[in-house]
Amino acid sequence: MKKITIFACMILSLSLSACSTRQVVDKLSGSTAQRLVTLSVDQLISELPESPLSELQDAKVWMNTHFIREDPIVTYASARMKTEIDKRHQVTWTDSEKDAEKVIDVFFTSLATDQDSLGISIPIPTVTTESNEIGRLDIIALNMYHGVSELYFYVRDNATKTVVKAERSKAHIRTDTLALPIITIPINTLD
């Protein structure tokens, strides 16, 4: 009887796993993911440091953007950054780098969403999700969804060839839920 109890406890402890996982969400397939990343971009751009952007005041400017892959979110982030710079410093955007007085090189290091889960769950191998991961039944879990945007940039004066680097800037937007077997309770929301 004692061996059966020990065996049952071992099986139960293997079935119920307390764990923390992080999943990088590959595409912005849902509205929440899209809002997380675009709100983090908006926060990031609106909080950009004045220095060295103040050097762009009333100048003719060209902007280069760099990211690890081509992605529509880069186009969005670039347009958002141009709009913010124009609003703050009344720049004139040029059609080519050679016509510019100042050049800004923007390096996006993160424009994505990811997901963390911390809690106790039972894996359900017969159920798969959109990303082909094994499904799970949450006993009690905190599911955290993040939108992360990060960048740094250089401002170059074409006449003097001086280059000034801005510090890395980061914005992090999140929404959390408490997952139980029958119901999921929002803890905080994007609204």
pTM of the model: 0.78
- Does 11 reside within a domain? no
pLDDT higher at 50 or 15: 50
- Does 167 reside within a domain? yes
The CATH number of the domain where 117 resides is what? 3.40.50
Long-range contacts from 3-9, C-beta under 8 angstroms, 24+ separation: none
- Does 2 reside within a domain? no
Q: In Å, how far from its chain's centre is CA 188?
A: 17
Q: How do beta strands 92-93 and 17-25 pair?
A: unpaired
Give the residues across from 141 on adjacent strands.
Answer: 119, 179
pLDDT tens digits, one per residue of 68-112: 999 999 999 999 999 999 999 999 999 999 999 999 999 999 999
Cα–Cα distance for residue pair 65/87, rounded to 1 Å:
19
Which domain range does residue 175 map to? 19-188
- Does 3 reside within a domain? no
- Does 14 reside within a domain? no
- Does 111 reside within a domain? yes
- Does 74 reside within a domain? yes
pLDDT tens digits, one per residue of 5-40: 776 655 655 454 444 444 444 455 788 889 999 999
Angle between helices 72-89 and 31-46 (to 10 degrees): 30
What is the count of structural domains for the chain? 1
